[in-house]
Amino acid sequence: MDDVFLTTEEVLEYLQVNLRTIYRLIKAGKIPAVRVGRQWRFRKADIDRWLGNQGTAHVIPEPASGHAPAASGERSSSRRPRVLVADDEASIRDLLSKTLALAEYDVEEAPDGKAALNLLRASSFDLLITDLKMPGMDGLALIRDARRLSPALPVIIITAFSTEASAIEAVNLGVQGYLTKPFRIARILSTAAKALGE
């Protein structure tokens, strides 16, 4: 029914994201919300419509547009988090970019490890999301080089082939999250937010 309203806590549970992501979506006008006293209320039909528009299954078309580089150093609370997505599959890059852009992240894309490393050298990022299997420089090699440039950079690995050896090496490299293809919007957003400490 259209008149079913959810509390903030119920929406957090329903979407499996954190509070900061919900506020980011409200501020961006992505999710309609009604202020009742000091609480937010959300129509379940609006949430379901938003999820439906995003294609919650696994496919989201159109890549996010590029954004201006941020100043180096620590991220201020007024600046949107900058995320670098490295994957040799254009459809996966597009999916991640579009999803993260919906939650007000600034996203840059790289089609391989070498291009990602060049972007990391040229600008600062708050989060690296990389595929493990890429031609040339693979994800683990990229992470090792990224750690030399920025030891505290949070990293999320995406892969369709989760092997025990790669998982162990990823943990040893201090990876904050692991996404296995195919993935859903809520999982992408919650993993990114967790890695960023939001």
CA distance 161 to 198: 28
Query: Residue 168 has what pLDDT?
Result: 67
User: pLDDT for 130-171, tens place per residue?
Assistant: 988 888 998 889 999 999 999 999 999 887 665 666 666 766
Domain boundaries, the chain: 5-54, 82-195
User: pLDDT for 30-74, tens place per residue?
Assistant: 777 887 777 778 888 888 777 766 554 333 333 333 333 333 334
CB-based contact 101:62 (threshold 8 Å): no
Specify the CATH number of the domain 82-195: 3.40.50.2300
Question: In the chain, what's the furthest Cα-to-Cα distance?
Answer: 55
pTM: 0.65
b/e for 100-138, b at 16 or more Cβ within 10 A? bbbbbbbbbbbbbbbbbbebbeeebbbbbbbbbebeebb
